[in-house]
Chain A
Amino acid sequence: MMQKNMKTNLYQSNPFHLVKPSPWPMYLVFGLFGFLLNLTMMMHNITDNYMMLLINVITLIYIGLLWSRDIMGEATYLGEHTSKVSEGLNMGFLLFLMTELMWFFGMFWAYFYSALTPSVEIGEIWPPMSIMPMQATDLPLFNTLMLLMSGATMTYSHHALMARNRFNSMFGLFLTMLLGFLFIICQYFEYYYCSYTLADSVYGSVFFMLTGLHGMHVMTGTLLLCLNFYRLYNYQLTSEKHTGFNTSILLWHFLDVAWLFVYIVCYYWGV
């Protein structure tokens, strides 16, 4: 009886990945809660301890990496990701992108609500008096070009992977990472030299919520691309099967399109 049970453990009669208990979801939730708490306290001037926030961000990234490491192991070394599992992962990511879409929709709604009928408190004018909006033809235009270009290099990398061209695939991915990184740097300088802040009327609020939402996602997207670069370098992605790479590409193109709307609305239409 004992032996029979042991034998049946050696195979399973379904194509699904029956996951084992993992600490990462719980750790991540605690990390996110701490991040929320610290960010809120910082923005409401309850604390000016930026170090806690920094530790929080590092913890979050670390947990994310550990979780990713587990998943990469399950995919590459344990062979848990059958085509059925990959389908599920893909569908899950598409659903995640839908929630992202709704988040952006909500933030755009806030922007249009405040901009189309500016309230009495800001004198019914948009942008409010003495807000000096960013020039659409300045750094934001450069950012737009860089993101569009990164979409092209992303496709270049993907097609090179499918064509089994390792060098071109890695080169394309590296260029995409570089462009993503440059985008973040440019956004940083743009924020740094911006004449208004998150606290300067509803204009600052909706502007930084929209561009910040996008910027945070570009950071996450760049991290994902780094992970994919690591996997590509370690021969974990094949020309036939690269689900994680596919979903990262989807996220990247999503951010690309989202930026076009953010650019048109925040830097051209709303100024």
Chain B
Amino acid sequence: MADEAELRAKLHTFGNDARFPDQNQTHRCFQNYVDYFRCVKAKGEDFAPCKEFWSTYQSLCPVSWVEKWDEERSKGNFPAFDL
């Protein structure tokens, strides 16, 4: 990603998302991860709103999870549809 460094600089702790009211934000992390790749698939990498998903999951998800999911996506056994 071109402006990844720029986005990293802008990373901050995200506020409330009413869909995920619990303290445990696992589902929010996963949802944003999935939403990012769906968004990119539908609108392309340069579509600005997609980056919101990207920075959210980058902020919320442990790196090891993201690595695991990336690997699963490349292997084709990621447990969510159309990714």
Residue of A nearest to B29 (CB): A120
Residues from chain A with a CB closer than 8 A to the CB of B29 are 120
Pair B80/A123 contact, Cβ less than 8 Å? yes
Residue of A nearest to B83 (CB): A123
* Proximity string of chain B (28-67) to chain A, C-beta cutoff 8 Å, 1 when within and 0 when not: 0111001000000000000000000000000000000000
* Proximity string of chain A (186-214) to chain B, C-beta cutoff 8 Å, 1 when within and 0 when not: 00000000000000000000000000000
Scan residues 1-42 of chain B and give those whose CB is less than 8 A from a CB of chain A.
26-27, 29-31, 34
Scan residues 114-143 of chain A and give those whose CB is less than 8 A from a CB of chain B.
117, 120-125, 128-129
Pair B81/A120 contact, Cβ less than 8 Å? no
Pair B81/A124 contact, Cβ less than 8 Å? no
Total interface residues on A, CB under 8 Å, equals 9
Pair B78/A124 contact, Cβ less than 8 Å? no
Residues from chain A with a CB closer than 8 A to the CB of B27 are 117, 120, 124
Residues from chain B with a CB closer than 8 A to the CB of A125 are 79-81
**Nearest CB on A from B59, distance (A):** 17
Residues from chain B with a CB closer than 8 A to the CB of A123 are 34, 78-81
Residue of B nearest to A129 (CB): B79
Question: Which listed residue (A122, A124, A128) contacts B31, Cβ 8 A?
Answer: A124
Residues from chain B with a CB closer than 8 A to the CB of A122 are 79
Q: Write the residues of chain B forming the contact surface with A, with a CB cutoff of 8 angstroms.
A: 26-27, 29-31, 34, 78-81
Known contacts A120-B27, A125-B79, A129-B79; 16 further A-B pairs (Cβ under 8 A): A117-B27, A120-B29, A123-B34, A123-B78, A123-B79, A123-B80, A124-B27, A124-B30, A124-B31, A124-B34, A124-B80, A125-B80, A125-B81, A128-B79, A129-B80, A129-B81
